[in-house]
Structure 1
Amino acid sequence: MDPVIVVGAGPVGLTLALALARQEVPSVVLDEGPGKDEQRPARTVVLREDTAALLERLTGAALGEYGVRWAGWRSLRRKQVMNEITFDESGPAAPLHIAQHVLTGALRAAVADEPLVKLAVDSRLDAVEQERSGITAHTRGPRGTWWRGSYLIGCDGPRSTVRKLQDIRFPGRTAVERHAVAALRVELPWEGRALLHRMPPWRQSGPSAVEVTARPLPDGVWRLDWLLPPGKDLVTPEILVTRIRETLAGWTDGSTPAYDLLDTGVHVVHHRLARRWRAGRVFLAGDAAHLLGALGTQGLDEGLRDADNLAWKLAPAWHHGHHEALLESYQTERRAAIAARLRAADQALPVLRGGGGLRQMVPGTARGHDALLTEGHLGRGPLGAPGGYADSPLAPPPSEGEIQVDTAPGSPVTDVRVTAEDGTFVRLRDRLGRGALLVVLIAPGTGVWDRKHWVSAGVMPRLAAAVTALPHPAELLVAEDYPGAPAHSVLLVRPDGHLVTALSGVRPAELYAAAQAAVGGAAKEKAEAASSAR
């Protein structure tokens, strides 16, 4: 079987290649550049808990050593504190802020150690031909050649050559937001805490900035973003330096502290969504498929979720033959999730970025706006939370034994401590991404027992037999508790960490039906039935 061709060696393309390798699928990554990334301290990414965990699984690196997990979040309006959040072990995990070139470097290092991934530098795609049995791609450059593959994934950014070669439209909105950006080494009064300051009380030079954000990086470096008004007003270096000095002085009671300016830029946010994410054996992922990023949201987060979703679906197709229902579900699930976030942003933008007038006089409006922006920056709510797949074609039909837990079907599961089949304690997220379904028994008290005392007791033998009989490889895990799950309930989890169903007790037939649906079996049967009816 020919390898999967991944076009683009950014974070999404490299993540996809590593995720495929973890499931023993070889790939070729076509990198149009020389294999090195420009160091831009002002170009950074904020990773949510699930995507940071995904990258740490794939790279084997503790990304917290290369970035900063926020100690807290603070938002101000003029001089008033609107919201203050401290991140600790009792609540949601802190976002991770890291320079993009550092993240890409960690991924490149992991790729260099992975024999199943071939990185081809100076290889710019210029042609794609596909037939029933596979894909042929041509690259130009010093090593221009033809490449043969089983599937081809376009992870080649907003100006995607893959998307253009497949004649896929990319409609949306241009310049939804513009930000002046600076990375500087400076000592600020709130070490390790991110800050959102709306309507700062000091005078701004140049185009007015009604909002400024400060996010910490390692070694005392901060990224500052000033939201600019609509239009194309030029932000000159002189204006930006004056703005930096004014902002720092405003945050430190009038005197500008010493700082070292490392990098500057203007970040323009676009909102776009490809009409199709698939054309036969060709798929799109990341910025090639969608652009978002207004109101504090992070586009790379969603691109990494694209890679995670697609990898586990390509793997069985590569190993066992083309599986149309499973492959088609990638576009259905991921495009719907991105469309929902774009709709939420489009609804919030006129409210948050509109003019003043009576709206500013309504009591509680400022706090409501602050809550919306906090959701975007912290990865919560409709603006920021990862999407679920409740309407997925892979969702199982309702069953008599189905119960409700705190995680809705189709949503990402909560990370809890589990006991693996060899008796070791691990985190649930550590078992994701291997291509296997996860079956989790909720059994309070087992954490203090030796494995030999409970593995053959109670419902375990019956459940183990049911797991062995499933139509897809599965791993049996035991957790002492799970939010909202009663004792002896059974959770079925997809390889990308989304809940398939929760059952009350061991129900082999219902577990089998849910597993079959989760890997496209039910959708495949429906398609075959519809075809025969015609």
Structure 2
Amino acid sequence: MTAFDAPVGIVGAGPVGLVAALRLAGLGVPTVLLEAKPELLKQGSKACLIQGDVLEVLDKFGCAEPIRDEGVTWTVARTYVRNRVIRSAEYPRGLGFGPFVNISQFRIEQVLVEAAEANPLCDLRWGHEVMAVTQDADSVTVRVNTAEGEQDLRFAHLVAADGVRSKMRELMDVEWTGYTHKDRFLITDIKAKLPLAKERHFHYDPSFNPGRQLVMHPQPNDIWRIDWQLPPDADIEAEQLDGRFDQRVRAVIGDIPYEIDWVSTYRFHQRVVARLRVGRVLFAGDAAHSLPPYGSRGMNSGIQDADNLAWKLAAIHNGQAGEELLETYHIERYAAARENLRVTEATIRFMVPPNRIRRWTRAALLGLSRSLGLARKHVNSGRMAEPYVYTESPIVQPAGDDPLLGSFAPDMRIDGEPSRLRRLFGHRFVVLCFATTGTRAAELLDQARSTECDMVVVLPEGAPAEGVPNGARVVRSEDTELLARYGTVGGTWWVVRPDGHLAARGSDGNDFAAALRTAAGVGALDRTLVKGTSA
């Protein structure tokens, strides 16, 4: 049997594939990335927003800050009906990277490619198109077409992150459930100095796109992305030739000078593969699920796929877990995809009503929303993306009455460096211990001392630290609200996974070892699978 070309192969060097490679590299696992394109190509804004919580993933390998610094951070989303603001949603800036940062997918890819090409554990191969794939009980073999001819490459696992037109789905004959919407949408990136706040602007039935929707997002360097819902008879190529396209843009921005940076039309999808895990092949990002742009759930959820998958593959390749752990990748991220589809389907049915009754109801709501506050909350302009909470995962303790279990750990200010709690996560499991004294922390960490977990003790400012076990890091916080949520009074330990999600909690140190085994996937499939999935 031939040796592996790398433990993990990745098909597709878009944001999801690149993040998977960089996260695996940070966990000590070499990868080969296979990209069919000969080089990184600019394709306009495409995905134009990265969520602050998702930037936390990129922060684990040093790519978050340059993206945050270059992008446009915004905290207000305005919804308009017939040119009048009916609602302004404000999002807290938080401690990390802000709630949302607008920047083009292409620019994110540039930053990630530079990081991958500088990392000795990431072997990025341009102009390598996968033509065939086979797998057996121990490996996956792909045949790739290159400028030098065809060659076979062998991996222990293969990540399919080759986008919405995934060839891997075709080669693996994976069921692509859902539908493609019949309406067309137009994306235009223009360069213009517009007198608009750097916020999200969502319009229903504006004078410049009557009867339909239009969304505007600011980008760096005076670029504005404008999304139109198009009428069925719209011919954008003809508009560009006869001057009507200029009229379309002018109707939105007036007489302000502008330059066109990119134009594209598309139909959006509501789809997910039936299985994200097919033997040793794992589907991620748009290859696994495709969503409308409203709420910015596409690239963001894809990067969360990569983060979820990376630590599990690393645990297997580092000898800490068995193959069965990968089933929890399907369980957790399939549930996340279904939740995203549920949210976006509700938005679509409001934006594009499927029948006469729904059209009448929407028209009535939009009319009432201009003067009646109660109607405004029912105007659906797309709920923004947020990390999924793994409440039904077999490797997460049942939440009961604790909403934090399964969630992305809430961040808090701590003393010292790093100055935020989340920056202590990402490489190994962490036992996070909240207590009012070092002595109580020692009781909670009794079993944790014999594990390979990083131990972090969080004490209130001024609390005595005597008794904290050797090897535990002590940090302090003045955030009384979060100290209470984490259960400082009485004392509580938490198991934090490498992806920053809270897997278990307890107030008895004797329960920790069993909780850690479950979180790491030992006996992970003993509990009932998530509804709608199969083993």
TM-score bracket, normalised by the shorter chain, equals 0.7 to 0.9
Alignment-derived partner of residue 129 in structure 1: 134
CA distance in 2, matches of 1:276, 1:368: 41
Work out whether 1:16 is the aligned partner of 2:17. Answer: no
Query: What letter corresponds to residue 113 of structure 2 in structure 1?
Result: R
In the other structure, the counterpart of 2:391 is 390
Is the 8 Å Cα contact of residues 190 and 223 (structure 2) preserved in structure 1?
yes
Distance apart, 1:459 and its partner CA: 2.3
1:198 pairs with 2:178 = no
Determine the structure 1 residue equivalent to 2:512: 511
Q: After superposition, what is the alpha-carbon deviation per residue over 1:474-526, rounded to whole angstroms, capped at 9, x for unaligned?
A: 4424253426233232222211121113323xx22222222111111132667
Distance in 2 separating the partners of 1:364 and 1:8: 47
Partner of 1:484: 485
Within a 5 Å distance, the mapping from 1:118-517 to structure 2 comes to 118-143=123-148, 144-175=150-181, 177-202=183-208, 204=209, 210-229=212-231, 231=232, 233-235=234-236, 236-237=239-240, 238-249=243-254, 256-320=255-319, 323-354=322-353, 356-361=359-364, 371=377, 376=382, 379=384, 384-396=385-397, 404-405=401-402, 407-418=403-414, 424-434=417-427, 436-443=428-435, 457-470=438-451, 473-478=453-458, 480=477, 481=479, 482=482, 484-487=485-488, 488-504=491-507, 507-517=508-518
Number of positions where the alignment pairs a residue of Structure 1 with one of Structure 2: 487
The alpha-carbon distance between structure 1 residues 352 and 175, as it changes in their structure 2 partners (threshold 3 A), is closer
Distance 1:100 1:358, change over 3 A: closer
Moved more, 112-121 or 72-81: 72-81
Structure 1 residues 165-200: Cα deviation after superposition (integer angstroms, max 9, x where no partner)? 221111211136532121112222223222112211
Sort the Cα spacing of 1:87 and 1:171 in 2 relative to 1 into closer, same or farther, 3 A: closer
**What does residue 473 of structure 2 align with?**
none
Provide the C-alpha distance between the structure 1 equivalents of 2:430 and 2:368, rounded to a whole number of angstroms: 45
Alignment of 1:53-92 (within 5 A): 53-62=56-65, 63-86=67-90, 89=93
2-side partners of 1:374 and 1:126: how far apart?
42
CA distance in 2, matches of 1:438, 1:275: 33
Q: Distance in 1 between matches of 2:443 and 2:417?
A: 21
C-alpha displacement at 1:426, in angstroms? 3.3
More displaced stretch, 310-319 vs 258-267: 258-267
Aligned-partner Cα distance in 1 for 2:492–2:320: 34
User: Where does structure 2 lack aligned partners over 5 or more consecutive residues?
Assistant: 459-475, 529-535
Whether the 8 Å contact between 1:74 and 1:83 is mirrored in structure 2 is: yes
CA contact (8 A) 1:176 1:294 kept: no
Q: Aligned equivalents of 1:348 and 1:86: distance in 2?
A: 19
1:110 alignment counterpart: 115
Gaps of 5+ in 1: 250-255, 445-453, 528-534
The Cα shift of 1:3 comes to 2.1
Residue-by-residue CA offset, 1:224-243 (whole Å, 9 max, x unaligned):
111224x4632232333211
SS in 1 for 2:275: coil
**Which residue matches 1:35?**
39
Q: State the match for 2:462 in structure 1.
A: none
User: Secondary structure of 1:307's match?
Assistant: helix
Q: Which letter maps to 1:499?
A: L
1:343 and 1:176 mapped to 2: Cα distance? 19
Further displaced range: 27-36 or 261-270: 261-270
* Separation in 2, partners of 1:80, 1:193: 15
Amino acid at match of 1:489: T
Distance 1:48 1:391 in 2: 24
Shift of 1:113: 1.3
Q: Which amino acid aligns with 1:333?
A: E
CA distance in 2, matches of 1:56, 1:41: 24
SS of the aligned residue for 2:351 comes to helix
Is the Cα–Cα contact under 8 Å of residues 389 and 410 in structure 1 kept in the other structure? yes
- Aligned position for 1:448: none
SS across alignment from 2:61: helix
Q: Structure 1 residues 319 and 358 mapped into 2: Cα distance closer, same or farther (>3 Å)?
A: closer
Shift of 1:394: 0.9
Instruction: Please list the CA deviations of residues 407-439 of structure 1 after superposition, one character each: whole Å capped at 9, or x if unmatched.
Output: 4321222112346xxx644322223321x1122
- Residue pair 1:45, 1:300 contacting (<8 A) in 2 also: no
Deviation digits for residues 379-426 of structure 1, max 9, x if unmatched?
2xxxx333211111112368xxxx855x4321222112346xxx6443
Output the CA distance in 2 between the equivalents of 1:149 and 1:52. Answer: 29
Q: Deviations over 1:449-488 (max 9, x none)?
A: xxxxx7xx32233344432224x53442425342623323
Contact 1:180 1:266 in 2 (8 A): yes
Q: Which moved more, 1:364-373 or 1:343-352?
A: 364-373
More displaced, 311-320 or 1-10?
1-10
